[in-house]
C-alpha cells in the first residue's frame, strides 16, 4: 500500500513539474504595432528585427522646437555628437527579446529624449491594446512603469516597413 501511494505521488509530482501550469498567453509579435506613449505626445512603432524588437518614434504632438522653429533635435543627449540628430525617427527602444515563459519582452533598453538617459527596460502586455513599459536601473521592481496604448488602426507589424 505504501509503495502504491509513493508511486502515485511521484507520478503526480513529475507530471506537475513537466506540464505547464498556465498556457502562454501572447506570441512574440503581439507587441508589434504603433503605440501612443503615456504622455500622449508621441507614437512609437514597435517592430521586429530578427529575434530583437525595437521601437522608433514616428510622430510627435509638438515636432517643432519653439525657439529655433525647426524640427526638434536630441538636445539632451549626453553624447554631444548626437545632439544634432532629429527626434523624428529616433530609435527609443532596442534589443528586446520575448520570454515566452514569462510572457514579456525583456533585456532591452529605453531612451528618454526628454532627459537624455537610457534605462534597462521590460515590456508586458496587459491585453492586446495596452502595454506596461518599465524602465529601471539595476532591478525592475524599483523602476518606473508607464502604460502605452495601441492605436486602433495599428495591426501587429512583424517587420519594419521602411
Residue 104: phi, psi to the nearest 5?
-150, 160
Sorted by where each begins, the domain ranges of the chain are 24-150
Fold of 24-150: Lipocalin (2.40.128)
Question: Percent of the chain scored above 90 by pLDDT?
Answer: 75
- Interatomic CA distance for residues 120 and 143, integer angstroms: 9
- Interatomic CA distance for residues 148 and 94, integer angstroms: 16
pLDDT for the residue numbered 116: 97
What average pLDDT does range 85-98 have in this prediction? 97
pTM given for the model = 0.79
Collect all residues with Cβ–Cβ distance below 8 Å to 95 and sequence separation of at least 6. 52, 54, 107, 108, 109
For residue 136, give the H/E element and its range: strand 130-136
Amino acid at each position: 500500500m505504501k509503495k502504491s501511494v509513493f508511486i502515485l505521488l511521484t507520478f503526480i509530482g513529475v507530471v506537475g513539474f513537466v506540464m505547464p501550469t498556465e498556457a502562454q498567453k501572447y506570441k512574440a509579435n503581439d507587441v508589434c504595432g504603433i503605440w501612443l506613449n503615456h504622455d500622449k505626445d508621441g507614437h512609437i512603432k514597435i517592430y521586429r528585427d530578427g529575434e530583437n524588437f525595437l521601437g522608433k518614434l514616428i510622430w510627435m504632438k509638438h515636432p517643432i522646437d519653439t525657439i529655433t522653429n525647426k524640427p526638434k533635435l536630441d538636445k539632451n543627449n549626453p553624447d554631444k555628437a548626437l545632439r544634432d540628430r532629429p527626434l523624428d525617427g529616433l530609435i527609443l527602444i532596442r534589443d528586446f527579446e520575448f520570454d515566452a515563459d514569462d510572457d514579456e519582452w525583456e533585456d532591452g533598453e529605453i531612451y528618454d529624449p526628454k532627459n537624455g538617459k537610457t534605462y534597462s527596460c521590460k515590456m508586458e502586455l496587459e491585453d492586446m491594446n495596452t502595454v506596461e513599459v518599465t524602465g529601471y536601473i539595476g532591478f525592475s521592481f524599483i523602476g518606473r512603469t508607464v502604460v502605452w496604448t495601441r492605436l486602433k488602426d495599428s495591426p501587429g507589424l512583424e517587420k519594419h516597413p521602411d
